[in-house]
Amino acid sequence: MAFQGKKLINNPNDVVTEFIEGLVETYQGLQYLDGFPEVKVVLRADVSGATYDKVAVISGGGSGHEPAQAGYVGEGLLTASICGDVFASPTVDSILAGIRAVTGPMGCLLVVTNYTGDRLNFGLAAEQARSEGYKIETVIVGDDCALPKSQGIAGRRGLAGTILVNKVAGAVAAAGLSLADVASEAKRASEVVGTMGVALSVCTLPGQVTSDRLGSGKMELGLGIHGEPGAAVADLQPVDVVVTHVLKQILESNYVPITRGNRVVVMINGLGATPVMELMIAAGKTVPKLQLEFGLLVERVYTGSFMTSLDMKGFSISIMKVDQTLLQHLDASTKAPHWPVGSAGNRPPAKTPVPLPSSRSMKSDELLSRPLQLTEQGHILEVAIEAAVNAIINMRDILNDWDSTIGDGDCGSAMYKGATAILDDMKKYYPLNNAAETVNEIGSSVRRAMGGTSGVLYTIFCKAAYAQLKANSDSTVTAKQWAEALEAAVAAVSKYGGASTGYRTLLDALIPALAVLKEVIQNSSLSLLFFINDV
């Protein structure tokens, strides 16, 4: 069943021109030719064909693939982008207008994707421009690896690999090289890049209905960026399996001369409606497979949505074989707003050990284990901890019942987990003769065992109390110091939890308890003082 697609647009016929207007408002280095609606050309604002002293690099094609190609206009990449209507090749007049606007004495390179309409219209425009005296070269990019080579090359469409070719051409042109050199390097790049796409849905054109060609639980392998049917439809598989299939298709298709030991760059490209999370998952599976299974040295990884298909769900993978020269072209600076920046230089290991707190790394083994012999303070602390956690364990059902009247009814269960973890860990790890470190370990037990907000709050409570107790250099902790630790803990819970007295949180129990403790300590001190004075 088809249904009307939802789009945030005005008139479906105006989407391309309105996109261009928004683009140039966003990026001050861009302009467009004032020829709407027939002429839709985005160009560098700092370039005039009459005075431009470098090779102009122009690409383009049907719209709907944003940010390609208009988002790659800028110093060091494209000089202009020719925009057709959605999924339609730009007109010859638009292409000619773009050539005339930015081409100077050094000439112009046209980077054309391998679609019949693009080849014909750009080709005719190139011939017309030559007849007008412009120096023009053309490079055709067909990086699609979805179809077996035995079926011929006519179906090799220009996909996301075109962006890498554009970047190479733009870097060479920005360096001031000749048109022949720019064309030669762009052609060389186009011959060593392969791409294949996978989609979970088809796209919806503005003002049209959404097709359900794929149906539920299906994916399409090797489809085109205009919604063309792919090489095959299959059951939806985990991304690990999908990535393996795509890499094998690219590297074993004999379309690209990539063999074990080669250096490559990789582009993981979203097709328009693929979340960044899913693209990163695909990237995380792609790189290790290329390195370990195919023996390739991955030099750069570009992940994001670079050449889309409106709102299509899916991604494509492009792999380009590189040498040091091509790598330098890809790394060369550019002001194009949507060029993906990959980290240059040697790739560090993907993971590094989790650092331990310096205080923990300096603790002795004895401090991190239960003492063989408890001091009087250690014994008192153990008895107090046992009494507290057993009280919580025994109240699990009551606490759950209370919580069910105002919440989700799991308070008792969560505290039960924390209490049992404390009881188990105390028998093995707690340095009971050291009160501060014991409180710290209680916080670690709670953090590990308890989930939700309460677990975090109790951990904060313990960590703040630990910091206060640790400031005491004496081995014995006095009642006054315990009260100070409780006060610090209550203040931390209030600070990070954002609550105070009357908010109906655990602070409504802790704050009165602190007040009573301080009052008891004060009265005990006064009684002792009166006793000493009487004597």
Query: Which residues are known binding-site members for substrate?
Result: 62-65, 118
Token pair recorded at residue 180 = 């022949």
Report the 10 Å Cβ neighbour count for 211. 16
Q: Is 485 helix (H, G, I), strand (E, B) or coil?
A: helix
Report the 10 Å Cβ neighbour count for 309. 27
Residue 173: in which H helix or E strand, if any? helix 161-174
Residue 482: phi, psi to the nearest 5?
A: -65, -40
Whose structure tokens read 């494509």? 316
Residue 301: phi, psi to the nearest 5?
A: -130, 125
Pairing of strands 263-270, 297-304: parallel
Whose structure tokens read 């030669």? 184
Q: What are the binding residues?
A: 62-65, 118
In angstroms, the CA 122 to CA 139 distance is: 11
Whose structure tokens read 């008792």? 412
In angstroms, the CA 438 to CA 434 distance is: 6
Q: How far is the CA of 453 from the CAs of 318, 506, 514, in angstroms? A: 44, 12, 22
What DSSP character marks residue 366? T
- Identify which of 275, 327, 325 has the alpha carbon closest to the alpha carbon of residue 301: 327
DSSP string for 21-58: HHHHHH-TTEEE-SBTTTB-EEEETT--TTT--S-EEE
In angstroms, the CA 336 to CA 79 distance is: 10
**Catalytic residue selected from 226, 245, 329, 338:** 226
Report the 10 Å Cβ neighbour count for 129. 21
What DSSP character marks residue 518? H
Tabulate helix, strand, coil % of the chain (nearest 5): 45, 15, 40
In angstroms, the CA 209 to CA 219 distance is: 20
**379 is annotated as an active-site residue:** no
In angstroms, the CA 111 to CA 484 distance is: 73
- Identify which of 479, 484, 480 has the alpha carbon closest to the alpha carbon of residue 468: 484
Active-site positions read 226
